[in-house]
Each structure stands twice: as structure tokens, then as C-alpha cells.
């Protein structure tokens, strides 16, 4: 699966951004999709994930209630809607895919990764 993330940018605290990830190469609906982020000097963190059908989602506590993941299997895309952004959300955001199984946030289980898109939240 080839993944291409887009939609990052600069936004003020309290604002919103919508990230998209376009997939190609394999049957998209066979894959659970995850979003991860990495801030400068920090380890990569799990943000959230959605299962292959879109019927189940799972979020990190730090973004629960502010971020929403959705997918469109007909368009081979997954979206991360980020509302109520905070300066601590500043990071490079990556989309990733793993063959459908139990939904979780362990990055080691995700086989395919996009190139990342920068999100910067100013205070």
C-alpha cells in the first residue's frame, strides 16, 4: 500500500485542520488505518485508528474528543479531523496501514507508512 498524507499547515490554538491520506496499490478495505505523530526530539506517538470497515475507532487519550478519524473505502482515503488544536499537537503527522485485525495503536504492527505532513499550532 502506498500512502500519501496531506493537509498539514499552520493554525492558531483553538483552530482546526483536516488531514487526508490517500492510499493506492492494494485493496484499501482490507486495511486498518492509523494516524501517528512525532514532535521534534520526541518519540512517535499514536493518535488514533480506524478499522477496515470504518465501524470502529480508537483514540489516544490526549486527542479524544477533539480529533475524529473517518474513511471512505470507495475513494481509498482516510481523514483526520482535528479540532480544538493545542500547541502540544505540533508534530509531523503520519498515516499508516496494517492488515485488518484487532484495532490498536502499536506502531510496530503497521506495515505501510506515508511520508508525513507537518502540523504547527501557534499559541
* Confidence at residue 26, expressed as pLDDT on a 0 to 100 scale: 85
More confident residue, 20 or 26: 20
Q: Which of 110, 87, 101 is nearest to 36 (CA)?
A: 110
Residue 20 pLDDT: 98
pLDDT category of residue 16 using cuts at 50, 70 and 90? very high
Q: What CA–CA distance (Å, rounded) separates 55 from 117? A: 26
- The predicted-structure confidence for 72-120, as pLDDT tens digits, reads as follows 999 999 999 999 999 999 999 999 999 999 998 999 999 999 999 999 9
Amino acid at each position: 500500500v502506498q500512502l500519501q498524507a496531506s493537509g498539514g499547515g499552520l493554525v492558531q490554538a483553538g483552530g482546526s485542520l483536516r488531514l487526508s491520506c490517500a492510499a493506492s496499490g492494494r485493496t484499501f478495505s482490507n486495511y486498518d488505518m492509523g494516524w501517528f505523530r512525532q514532535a521534534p526530539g520526541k518519540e512517535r506517538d499514536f493518535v488514533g485508528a480506524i478499522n477496515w470497515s470504518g465501524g470502529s475507532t480508537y483514540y489516544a487519550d490526549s486527542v479524544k474528543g477533539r480529533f475524529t478519524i473517518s474513511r471512505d473505502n470507495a475513494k481509498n482515503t482516510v481523514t483526520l479531523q482535528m479540532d480544538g488544536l493545542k500547541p502540544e499537537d505540533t508534530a509531523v503527522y503520519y498515516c499508516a496501514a496494517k492488515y485488518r485485525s484487532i484495532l490498536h495503536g502499536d506502531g510496530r504492527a503497521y506495515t505501510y507508512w506515508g511520508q508525513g505532513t507537518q502540523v504547527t499550532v501557534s499559541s
